[in-house]
Amino acid sequence: MSVPRATIGLMDKVRQIRLAKDAMDRDWADPDLDLEAAAAHAGYSRYHFLRAFKEAYGETPGQYLTHRRIERAEEMLRGADLRVTEICHLVGFSSLGTFSARFKARTGLTPSEYRTKHVGRGAALIPGCYAMLWAGGFPTARTATRTATLKKRPGPGPAYGDGEEPPHDRRAEP
């Protein structure tokens, strides 16, 4: 029994789109993650990718990525003692105005109103310095040119003592 070619082609298409969606799920905080970068993960032109993604998931890649970022912002507003501007940048928005407008369109509240409504319903807020450390902080001039979607992350650095000669044991000398 063989599988029809059309089924194989559809499975291949879904797999390609899923690769791009996985990259968006992984690199949602990267402000340089755009339609072009996501389409490159699927191996499609950006226009073909836009149509195929919407057909498969019912929303455009931009809408999907915005939803992911807003969800992460909601978590941070409920749990971290960070300013709205800091959260805006940590979740991948480069404009506070755009972030606030998209946040309000999705939740019905501004980020500040959302925090006021939801804070105090559970555990204490995580101090901002710990939240920033956990999130990796803001990009520096050195890391701003790298994008998480297009370049491989560096491997782990040397462990303590790597590359050092062990101390010479003088007790064995005559």
pLDDT at 143 exceeding the cut of 90: no
Q: Is the whole-model pTM more than 0.85?
A: no
151: pLDDT strictly greater than 80: no
CATH of region 10-146 = 1.10.10.60
Q: Are 107 and 71 in contact (CB under 8 A)?
A: no
- The upper half-sphere exposure of residue 5, i.e. CA atoms within 13 Å in the direction of its Cβ, equals 0
Is residue 144 scored above 50 in pLDDT? no
Domain boundaries, the chain: 10-146
